[in-house]
Amino acid sequence: MKYKWLPVFDVNNCSGCRACMPYCASGSLNIEDGVVSFKNPEACLSDERCVQECPVGGIHMEWLPLNSASHLGSWSDQKPQMQNCS
């Protein structure tokens, strides 16, 4: 199993404003049922631009399992451990 650094969309915070969509260089985002979602996570560049542009903080990044032949974005063979920065 491979893991990819991907945005996670908080359906409770997403307002459906689409502010993140123009910043997705791969065009991987979609609006579905009034909230942002992936239409093509394999193409995501893992650059976090959508996270930075969300005005309501409704997007964060996580290492998620994904089976794909794509080499775009940031990948890991093992799920990286998140470090406590405190």
Asked whether residue 41 is assigned to any structural domain, the reply reads: yes
Asked whether residue 81 is assigned to any structural domain, the reply reads: no
Tell me the pTM.
0.84
What's residue 82's pLDDT? 64
What's residue 18's pLDDT? 95
- Above 50 in pLDDT, residue 24? yes
Asked whether residue 26 is assigned to any structural domain, the reply reads: yes
- Above 70 in pLDDT, residue 62? yes
The DSSP symbol for 65 reads E
Strand, helix or coil for residue 79: coil
CA distance 34 to 44: 21
Q: Looking at residue 25, which CATH number applies to its domain?
A: 3.30.70.20
- Above 70 in pLDDT, residue 29? yes
Q: What is the average pLDDT across 61-83?
A: 84
